[in-house]
Amino acid sequence: MEGGILTPAEWQALLLSLRVGVVAVGVGLPFAFCAALLLARCDFHGKWLLDGLIHLPLVLPPVALGYLLLISLGTRAPLGAFLLAHFGIRFVFSWTGAALASAILTFPFQVRAIRLSLEAQEAGLAEAAGTLGANAWDRLFSLHLPLAMPGIVAGVITAFAACLGEFGAIITFVSNIPGETRTIPLAIYTAIQTPGGEAAAARLAALSIALALAGLVLADFATRRARLAFGR
């Protein structure tokens, strides 16, 4: 390590994990808010099915999800080949694929947290705003979005922390490529499989525990602050 806390390869894995988490959560957040708003405020046929599909990643083995992504978005799969040929987009064996897999797996965390905040709102508030002339967009930005902020904050931080620990879907879909797809969990796996890698595995495991604990504490703190700020 040359006196450092982590080796260059371990720093690379850490930075890649952070990059994957930020992109996964950032891209998934708008869709999560729309899904939560739809489930919390609308009644329609098949709502139970949509709810089940959104939460399916919570019970689906990550390896199974990775396999489904591989046969759907691999370069030899119809959709994957189309995206590569016409748009130059390749998810398989790329960090963007790791972000996609992480976004799908952590999507329910964001939806659930935001939905709980939306359902905690008084239903009459939207009706009162409508009678005062507020259209759908006015109610979205001046009512639903601010009041859902505690759930948004909690969902984002929890999903980000979960992204940092994702292993099965990533290694199945994008493999374990140093500098490209080797996140912290994959780096731990590599260290365990390498003779004399016990120390590296212990360092990375401790780092993972610290990041996960920090994420949970930060989520709770940020949620409390958001509730105070928005009078919840």
pLDDT tens, position by position, 4-34:
688 888 999 999 999 999 999 999 999 999 9
Phi/psi for 148 (5° steps) reads: -90, 0
Q: What is the DSSP letter of 142?
A: I
Rounded to whole angstroms, how far apart are CA atoms 172 and 69? 9
Structure tokens at 30: 């708008």
The amino acid at 175: S
Structure tokens at 67: 């396999």
* Residue 173 C-alpha from the chain's centroid: 16
119 or 190, which is more confident = 190
At a CB cut-off of 8 Å and minimum separation 6, what does 224 contact?
Answer: none
Residue 191 has pLDDT above 60, yes or no: yes
Residue 157 neighbours by CB under 8 Å, 6+ apart: 215, 218, 219, 222
Query: Encoding tokens for residue 113?
Result: 């947290």
Query: 129: pLDDT confidence band, cut at 50, 70 and 90?
Result: low
Q: Tell me: pLDDT of 1 over 60.
A: no
103-117 per-position pLDDT tens digit: 999 999 999 999 988
In this prediction, residues 117-132 reach a mean pLDDT of 67
Domain boundaries, the chain: 59-229
Confidence of residue 3 (pLDDT cuts 50, 70, 90): very low
Q: Whole-number mean pLDDT of the chain?
A: 87
The CATH class of the 59-229 domain is mainly alpha
